[in-house]
A and B are shown apart, each in its own frame.
Chain A
Amino acid sequence: MTPLPRFLVRRFVHAVPLLLLVSVLVFLLIHAAPGGPLAIYLANPNVRPADIERLRRALGLDRPLWQQYWTWLWAFVQGDWGYSFSDGRPVAARIVERMPATFELVAVSLAGALVLTMPAGVGAAVARGRWIDRVVTTASMIGVAIPAFWFGLLLQMIFAVSLGWLPSSGRATPGGADAIDHLQHLVLPAAVLAIVLASGWSRFLRGSMIQTLAHPFIVATRARGLPPPRVVLRHALRNALGPLIALVTVDAALLVSGAVVTESVFAWPGLGSLFTEALARRDYTVLMALLMLSAAAVVVFNFLGDLAHAVIDPRVPAA
């Protein structure tokens, strides 16, 4: 583990220009909107052109674009993310209040997806070509190809509308919010997210298990007479696990960025829903902060994924 510090530094050095690039792109995109960040006022007949001009000055929108960018970036880095256009509250406060809901949904989904992936991926690889493999391969193929929002709609139709077993949306029933009620609200969105994640993961795990099982060292452990479950779990899985953990860690960025589609379909009040709400209101300060947060999360979790892979598998030079 000696090369670790240098590797840390290098990754950090790479991450900075990368995030700057993202910020320029996001900034330019939002300022390309007709009316820029003030578009929402342009559409409002109660706001006079003189007021818009005054706001433009007050917000510094009359200055050259690069100056605006530096002001925004400098404030952003210091944690001043501006105010929401739709309700005037600080963007950071609006984001922080949505974090627990996203964290809860994504953490439960990640755990559920892992529980589905391990037996599915390993079982399919061991029973390659047999019916278990066919079921896993087909199901995961569908899970990867299905539009998550349609999958969510189907589950709502079946379990909420037709059967009436579960609530179709929200995080709790207003008023009577006990733990059971809370769990019932969590089931459908977590199922959608977990199944979609597990589909990608188990395809991946199946592939890397098949590769590992074909290695000479596995043949050697079998030849030594080790019981097959031990060969598969202790020797093969251990080797196939590193890349999977890296993939899982990368997907765990959803903890911070929010699952936009799933949360919106189920009106789950997390960061993903905040994004679509802000989108509908053209709330550009919120959109910008959320997108930057997501990009930073991807960078950080990618790094953590490499790190986890390197820790699990000492052969991986941390590069």
Chain B
Amino acid sequence: MIGSTLFYAQRLSAIFLLGYTVWLSSFFLFNQPLEFDAWSVFTDQILFLIITSLVSLIIVIHSFIGLWTIGTDYFTSRTLGFVSPAIGKYANIIRGAYSLLFVFWGCVVIFILLFTIWS
């Protein structure tokens, strides 16, 4: 994948997630104190289910690009070598383990999110 695609995917997903956050925040702001009835009506509506499912996919894109960028920026033999040359030697293994960790964690979180809202 070319870099500019990742760049635009990161920014577009950010804008979408910003809009979703504003939407949820305004619901909480206008429904103070929060009651169970209003909250369950809000989360049972089909619009919430569809948009939140879409958001789970966008979270995957946004966080994957972000975490991958952090990994390739900081978990390199040079950057980790600043901390300790001994750690720097294992940079590739550390970065691989870190990547596996966030991919695994992302899968778990998205599965639980989709399961929670659709069940």
Do A and B belong to a common assembly?
no
Question: Which residues of A come within 8 Å of B, CB atoms?
Answer: none
Question: Which residues of B come within 8 Å of A, CB atoms?
Answer: none
